[in-house]
Chains A and B, each alone.
Chain A
Amino acid sequence: DAKTTQPNSMESNEEEPVHLPCNHSTISGTDYIHWYRQLPSQGPEYVIHGLTSNVNNRMASLAIAEDRKSSTLILHRATLRDAAVYYCILTGFGDMRFGAGTRLTVKP
């Protein structure tokens, strides 16, 4: 899997939007951009994924740069429950490998 670069940590205030960046300059044409998160003491859970176009679901939005070399996960209104480690992963025909992710802290 191609590598991604994420900030180690970010902070947000409750009920404010959060933009989590991910750089993936070596992305290939067949790589999908996936985001997972891991809440404390739980297994990773799927958040959102996309290929070229921006995506929205009930949990978040994914904004993908036109050249696909970066993407941003957007949580529209952070809650305390969104405090987690967020992983940006590229996956094509191989298996998913996690990086260190971004630890999001949400302050009340």
Chain B
Amino acid sequence: EPEVTQTPSHQVTQMGQEVILRCVPISNHLYFYWYRQILGQKVEFLVSFYNNEISEKSEIFDDQFSVERPDGSNFTLKIRSTKLEDSAMYFCASREGGGSGANVLTFGAGSRLTVL
């Protein structure tokens, strides 16, 4: 069964450092998403991406975050200057089509980010 792959599985970084989380969505999917989950809390939407541009972003996704699809397979989330409160599990997801609610999301296993 096709899956969404995320790397690294766990990253530890110092506050103020830049971090890039990588995702390989399912190959025929067109819509890509990042979510985060702080330990013990709910899954929070960060951003959605389609046709090489952001289609929607939440209030969490401020100027320190950026997303990119640098090639035909990878989808990345960059945090420019990490803060302690960025410590969380980050989930990438993809969807075949996004034009209606009929299409389902497939999630990766997540990347755990720990900021010291």
Q: B-contacting residues of A (Cβ < 8 Å)? A: 30-32, 34, 36, 38, 42-46, 49, 51, 87, 90-101
- Asked if A93 and B99 make an inter-chain contact with CB atoms under 8 angstroms apart, the answer reads yes
Q: Is B75 in contact with chain A by the CB < 8 A criterion?
A: no
Residues in B neighbouring A93, C-beta threshold 8 A = 99-101
Contact B43 A32 (CB under 8 A): no
Which residue of chain B has its CB nearest to the CB of A91?
Answer: B101
Which of B43, B56, B101, B106 makes the CB contact (< 8 A) with A98? B43
- Check: B25 CB closer than 8 A to any chain A CB: no
With A95-B48, A97-B45 as known contacts, state yes or no: A46 contacts B100, CB within 8 Å: no
Within the assembled complex, what's the spacing in Å between the Cα atoms of A99 and B43? 8
- CB contacts (< 8 Å) of A87 on chain B: these are 43
Q: Assess the B101–A30 pair: CB atoms within 8 A.
A: yes
Say yes or no: A44 contacts B56, CB within 8 Å.
Answer: no
Query: Inside 8 A of A95's CB, which chain B residues have their CB?
Result: 33, 45, 48, 55-56
Q: Which of B11-19, B62-70, B79-87, B107-115 contacts A (4 or more CB under 8 A)?
A: B107-115
Identify which of B42, B44, B101, B107 contacts A43 (C-beta below 8 A).
B107
Is B30 engaged at the interface, CB distance under 8 Å to the other chain? no
Beta-carbon contact of A42 and B42 below 8 Å = no
- B56 contacts across to A, CB distance below 8 A: 94-95
Interface pair A49/B109, CB less than 8 Å apart: no
